[in-house]
Amino acid sequence: MGESAEKTTKMEECCRWLKEKLIDDAKVPATEIFEDGDDMEFNPIMLKRAKKELDVISIKEGFGKDGVSYWQNPIIQTVSEREI
């Protein structure tokens, strides 16, 4: 298997992992995603590419050093907006 095919496979694996990570929770802290992703040997660039590929939504709650960034499944965002 060539290096390019190996990267594609790893990227597909990363996308599947991220989709599963976000499927049950309304939102997941970005720090948790990066830490758990590192455990799975996904680097931050790969995780950000998977986020873009899956149209994952970024949410920031709070301000400055007390602010927390979350990643959210776009499907859950859509359902939540309909309920409001």
Mean pLDDT of 55-69: 93
Q: Tokens at residue 77, please? A: 């965002």
**Whole-structure pTM over 0.85, yes or no?**
no
Q: Which CATH architecture has domain 3-83?
A: Orthogonal Bundle (1.10)
Mean pLDDT of 24-38: 91
Q: Does residue 75 have a pLDDT over 90?
A: no
Angle between helices 3-23 and 44-53 (to 10 degrees): 70
Q: Does residue 82 have a pLDDT over 60?
A: no
Q: Does residue 53 have a pLDDT over 80?
A: yes
Ranges of each domain in the chain: 3-83
Q: How confident is the model at residue 47 (pLDDT cuts 50, 70, 90)?
A: very high
